[in-house]
Structure 1
Amino acid sequence: MSAHYEPKGALGRAVHEIEETVIAIILGLMVLITFINVVLRYGFNTGLIWGLEMTGFLFAWLVLFGISYAVKTTAHLGVDAVINLVSPTVRRALTLLAAAICIAYAFLLFKGSWDYWAPFAGLDTTSGRIFPTGFEATRDQAWYEVIDIPLPEFLRFLEPMMNQGEEYEKLPRFIPYAILPFGSGLLLFRFIQAGVRLWNGTSKTLIVSHEAEEAIEDVKHMNAGN
């Protein structure tokens, strides 16, 4: 999928590589934890108690982080059978309208994600039902922990900051839940980027180019080589 996106400049290439590396690491950790748990369970009648929960969180990170990456690389699938029937002017207008709807959706998702995550981090939620008008005091829920994942020792410094000096037995929820505002915020940023490219004429679509047709062309090239 990433073949449809060519990063520009040293910074763009670095960010692109970081994103791909993070996605690969998350996927690799999921496979590794699952494999170790299978070996321990069937080979030694034991297992990592926190393995299933960790895999679930990693999968959520993979999905939410990958959504924005797919927007950047125009890897999301879509249907363009209708807009291909209209004139280029109407097609451009409909594409810009779709981009505006996507931006609005991502904004609402970001606001909702922040309002859900903020109490777990001891922060305030936004006021206003749709558009944030400020911040309002929220009950501190930073003491909430996950079910099974133990707190790594190097994160003990969080206890006086987030838990009033009390010890965390498990990982505080605000850490794995942080992907909610981060992922939705990054999605909003990517949709804005895509909208700007559409407006400037440097891009013509939000979706991947005709994937089925490209696969057929690849097969034709393979057959021609034989």
Structure 2
Amino acid sequence: MQTRHSMMDRLEETLIAALLGLMTMVTFANVVARYLFNSNILWALELTVFMFGWLVLLGASYAVKKNAHLGVDVVINLVSAPVRRMLALVSVSLCLIFSLLLLKGAWDYWSVFAELPPTTGRVFPTGLDWGARGQGWYEVQDIPMIAPLRFLEDMLNYGESYEKIPRAVPYVVLPLSMLLLTLRFAQAAVAIWQGHSDRLVASHEVEDDLETVRAQHGGQD
């Protein structure tokens, strides 16, 4: 189990680092092309926007997993342990409801681009709308189609070729990230219920950094 968690951590960290690195490289290449060669990489801006979206959405769920989101725990530190646990359960329950609503919305938005049925129901899903019209032929604005994704033409576009990549590809991060976010909140809820934690999120990274600096300076402020 520990090995599985470590592998998942490495996978998420590698993906997030790769996205950040690729964003930097694409932006730098576009700046060089513009100012040195009076040219422009047409698809660079759109690709950077998509990668930034992936970075933020995947990073949000990963930060919940690692308790890296900023949190204010001044009030909960003043109450007793049972009250603190109850407040944590209320908080994580609200976060779970919110993430489930986001998951439904993300699926409904992405599914039509992937020729899949969206859910029915305005708030909570009540089924699948198999009569919804698919929009698999929708393409992004600038990013050209690449050979490894040509198999999607038969799946989403009735065998017709794409000039740009289909929207289903970059938008898949929406349901994926919301599913991961829901999973992270569910894991946090289990940890709180079992008594392994008494709060949802409270990052003390700045305090830890200050303690490290103090230790390096012999405990001097």
Is the Cα contact below 8 Å between 2:69 and 2:203 reproduced in 1?
Answer: no
State how far apart, in whole Å, the 1-side matches of 2:79 and 2:103 are: 33
Distance 1:43 1:189 in 2: 47
Matched position secondary structure for 2:143? strand
1:190 to 168, 184, 193: 184
**In structure 1, what is the Cα distance between the partners aligned to 2:203 and 2:169?**
37
Secondary structure in 1 matching 2:133: coil
The residue type equivalent to 2:174 in the other structure is: L
1:60-139 correspondence runs (5 A): 60-136=53-129, 137-139=131-133
Counterpart amino acid of residue 197 in structure 1: A
SS across alignment from 1:120: coil
- Structure 1 residue 84, shift from structure 2 partner: 1.5
1:140-168 alpha-carbon deviations (Å, 9 max, x no partner): 10000000000002211211221011111
Q: For 1:8-47, what per-residue CA distance to the aligned partner results, in whole angstroms no more than 9, with x for missing partners?
A: 6111111111110000111111001001111111111112
Alpha-carbon contact 2:106-2:178 (below 8 Å) kept: yes
For 1:166-177, list aligned pairs within 5 A.
Answer: 166-177=160-171
Which amino acid letter does the alignment assign opposite residue 81 of structure 1?
V
Deviation at 1:204?
2.3
The one of 137, 156, 165 aligned to 2:159:
165
2:23 matched residue in structure 1: 30
C-alpha RMSD of matched pairs (Å) = 1.4
Equivalent in 135, 146, 149 of residue 143 of structure 2: 149
- Aligned partner letter, 1:85: L
For normalisation by structure 2, the TM-score amounts to 0.95
Secondary structure in 2 matching 1:148? strand
Once residues 69 and 203 of structure 2 are traced to their aligned partners in structure 1, the CA distance between those partners, rounded to angstroms, is 9
AA matched with 1:161: M
State how far apart, in whole Å, the 2-side matches of 1:139 and 1:223 are: 65
Alpha carbons 2:81, 2:198 under 8 Å: kept: no
Deviates more, 1:129-138 or 1:51-60: 129-138
Matched, 1:207 2:221: no
Deviation, structure 1 residue 200: 0.7
List per-residue Cα deviations over 1:107-137 (Å, max 9, x = no partner). Answer: 0000010011111111111011222111012
- In the other structure, the counterpart of 2:215 is 221
